[in-house]
Amino acid sequence: MKPRSENLMDAASRLPPFPAVLAGMRVLDASRVLAGPYCGQLLGDLGADVLKIERPGVGDETRSWGPPYHPTGPTAYYLSCNRGKRGVALDLNHPSGRQLFAQLVQQSDVVLENFRPESAEKLGLTPAHLLKLNPRLIVCSISGFGRTGPLRNAPGYDFAIQAMSGLMAITGPVEGPPCKVGVALTDVLTGVYAATAILACLIARGKSGHGYTIDLSLLDCAIASQVNVVQAYLTRLQEGCTPLEAVPARQGNAHLQIVPYQLFPTADSWIVVAVGNDGQWQAFARVAVPELADDPRYRKNPDRVRHRTELVPQIETAMRQRTTAEWCKLLEPIGVPHAPVWNYADLFSHPQIEARGMRITVCDPEGRPIDLVGSPFHLSYTGEPTAPPLASVPPRLGQHTDEVLRQLCGVDETSLEKLRREGIIG
């Protein structure tokens, strides 16, 4: 591998160092858009060599999902989920492209893919075929609805999955329309589930010696991620409710099972109050609504949930009497969980973000700076220090094609030129 630039070394040196725990692992990221690429980025953050496989001349769809565009060219969307990868432009529709991909498969530990089943079958890139090429491979297949069931061939996008999973039905104002979450959450969660499953399979492979396939569905991950709310539906059914009676009511910015645990208006803005137990309620009530602190109707959380419609308006009236800053000053010393509502300008101006390295600056090959969202991983270790993974800018389309094919497939310069003329690589 070519050495990284000094600019990238300088950028990485500002991050908290931790061991590259996946050093020596190679990931072929043949996925597109968000769920798979986000998973690949997480594995790269942990030290894996992630090769992003894209179609020559076109690339990942998110390369065109703008504005905004960074002044150096990439879209913000593409920058968000492709940090730390090497870019390889390879036409998998061409037999020579598939042959090169097969060589890369044989030298890799993980393949991430979100091919449609019929496309994978046509190209000979099904999980079964990939495992024949490399019996120790971990193949993670991501799709909207999984490889089984009546919807297995249906396309799946985050917005559609949020709608179908029940997530939109429990999100938004109580009296308003269903709402999606403000980010493609089911894609992101599926990426995290994918990384978790891959890491587990890598550990298992170390014991068994053989590879594994992973079949992940955005819909499955969206359902599992709704935890206590979706479980409340199943539990109410077992209590004897009809299916419609068991559907949880939309709570807006409140909580289905805890009161008060919601957003409140203040004299100048908004504040979240998250009372998680009865002791916190007593502390909160004595400063906010002292006349209710000893009221037996509100002493225990189940009582407060039952009397929500009576209690919450009284708290709302009290919260409007002070500013958000005044409430924060009152609630902090008595241990009542609370938070002001920040926008991104507020967030990235706070010293906590700098302390945690959640905004990093890397440089492209020309030395131009690009700000990225940092990795959430903070690992510690004992023993001899090892070099931390370098935070590098997401690759240009095909930026490392020649490097990778020379290094891993033994392709010489003459052959590279021929492949490029034929449009097989880019």
Catalytic residue among 45, 158, 187, 220: 187
Concatenating the DSSP letter of every residue in 307-321 gives THHHHHHHHHHHHTT
**69: which DSSP letter?**
B
The Cα 370–Cα 367 span in angstroms is 9
State how far the Cα of 141 lies from the Cα of 213, in Å rounded to an integer.
8
- 306: its two tokens: 């039952």
Q: Is 276 helix (H, G, I), strand (E, B) or coil?
A: coil
44 alpha carbon, distance to own chain's centre: 14
DSSP string covering 174-235, please? SSS-----SS-HHHHHHHHHHHHHHHHHHHHHHHH-S-EEEEEEHHHHHHHTTHHHHHHHHH
Sign of the CA dihedral running 382, 200, 356, 20: positive
- Closest among 63, 95, 92, 90 to 79, alpha carbons compared: 63
Strand-pair category, 270-274 with 338-340: antiparallel
Q: Decide if 218 contacts 185 (C-beta within 8 A).
A: no
Q: 207 near 55, Cβ under 8 Å?
A: no
* Both structure tokens of 132: 């024949």
3-state secondary structure of 30: strand
Inter-CA distances, 244 with 160, 198, 324, Å:
22, 38, 39
Do 416 and 405 meet the contact criterion of CB atoms below 8 Å apart?
A: yes
261-265 and 270-274 as β-strands: parallel, antiparallel, unpaired? antiparallel
Alpha carbon of residue 7 to chain centroid? 27
303 is catalytic: no
Q: How far apart are CA 208 and CA 202, in angstroms?
A: 10
Alpha-carbon gap, residue 311 to 129, rounded angstroms = 61
Is 416 within 8 Å of 56 (Cβ atoms)? no
Report the DSSP beta bridge partners of residue 216. Answer: 142
Contact criterion met (CB below 8 Å) for 127 and 147:
no
- Residues noted as catalytic: 187
